[in-house]
């Protein structure tokens, strides 16, 4: 599965609640479209925080099957260590410059406080021969 898309989403502010809302909306959209997504987390604490936020999503029509570090098979995986080299969608929640080549889509979140790091990631993807796009939220 070749990597063909890199999407950046610019959040309206740097609040953690805004970031969490975006991530939950992202997971919900992936689930509704029967897509599989890996969320690369900074550490176990962040993965557990996301796990709790997903479970607390109170909309009755919303159920997002997910797991931390592949503890069970689920379409949404919150990973803290090793990640597969290929897959459907990868949401990078870290500041790491990713060099994976087997994802159909890589998604990056930009908040107003991280624009410089995001610009570096944008240039990094261009150097890998990819064409990043800024997407509306």
Count the Cβ atoms, other than its own, within 10 Å of residue 36.
15
Work out how many domains the chain is built from and give that number. 1
Distinct helix (H) and strand (E) counts, the chain: 3, 7
Is residue 137 very low, low, confident or very high in pLDDT (cuts 50, 70, 90)? Answer: confident
pTM of the model: 0.92
Distance CA 2, CA 85 (A): 11
pLDDT tens digits, 61-100: 778 999 999 999 999 999 998 888 899 999 999 988 888 7
The pLDDT of residue 1 is 41
- Give pLDDT tens digits for 2-18: 558 999 999 999 999 99
Q: What is the CATH number of the domain that holds 94?
A: 3.40.50.10110
Domain housing 127: 5-135
CA distance 88 to 46: 22
pLDDT, tens digit, 9 for 90 and up, residues 17-42: 999 999 999 999 999 999 999 999 99
48 vs 59 pLDDT, higher one: 48
């Amino acid at each position: 599965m070749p990597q063909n898309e890199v999407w950046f989403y610019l959040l309206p502010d740097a609040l953690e609640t805004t970031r969490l809302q975006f991530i939950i909306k992202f997971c919900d959209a992936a689930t509704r479209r029967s897509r599989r997504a890996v969320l690369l987390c900074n550490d176990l604490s962040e993965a557990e925080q996301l796990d709790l936020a997903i479970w607390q999503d109170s909309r009755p029509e919303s159920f997002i099957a997910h797991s931390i570090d592949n503890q069970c098979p689920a379409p949404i995986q919150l990973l803290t260590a090793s990640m597969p080299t290929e897959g459907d969608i990868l949401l990078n929640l870290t500041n790491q410059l990713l060099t994976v080549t087997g994802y159909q889509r890589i998604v990056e979140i930009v908040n107003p406080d991280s624009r410089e790091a995001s610009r570096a990631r944008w240039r990094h993807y261009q150097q890998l021969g990819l064409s990043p796009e800024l997407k509306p939220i």
